Amino acid sequence: MPAEAAGSGAEPRRRRRGRARARTEALLHTLKRSRRVKANDRERNRMHHLNAALDELRSVLPTFPDDTKLTKIETLRFAYNYIWALSETLRLA
C-alpha cells in the first residue's frame, strides 16, 4: 500500500546510503593506496612508541650482565616478576 499512498503510482524512491558519487577504478585505487599508506604510518608509529616504552622499562630493570637486552616478552615477564618480588618484600617487612 505504500506505493499507492505515493499518489502517482510511480516507483518508490531509492534511498542512497553513504557517499552518492560513483567512483572510478583509478580513484578507488588511489583511495585504497592512500588509506594503506596512512595505516602503515599509524602502525609504524605505534610500534615505535611500544619499543620506546619497552626500552624505558628495560632501563629500570636489573639485568645480569648489564649488556644483555631482553626480548619483549622476557621484559614483560621479568617486570611482572620483579614487581611481585618487590611487593612480597614490602609485605614481609
CATH code for the domain of 35: 4.10.280.10
3-state secondary structure 20-82: CCCCCHHHHHHHHHHHHHHHHHHHHHHHHHHHHHHHHHHHHCCCCCCCCCCCHHHHHHHHHHH
Query: Structural domain tally of the chain?
Result: 1
How does pLDDT run across 46-88, given as a tens digit for each residue?
999 999 999 999 999 998 777 788 999 999 999 999 999 999 9
In a domain, residue 82? The reply is yes
Provide the residue range defining the domain that includes 21. Answer: 17-92
CA-based end-to-end distance of the chain: 82
Q: Would 25 be classed as within a structural domain?
A: yes
Q: Supply the pLDDT for residue 9.
A: 59
**Position 54: which residue type?**
L
Does residue 79 belong to any structural domain of this protein?
yes
Instruction: Note whether residue 48 is domain-resident.
Output: yes
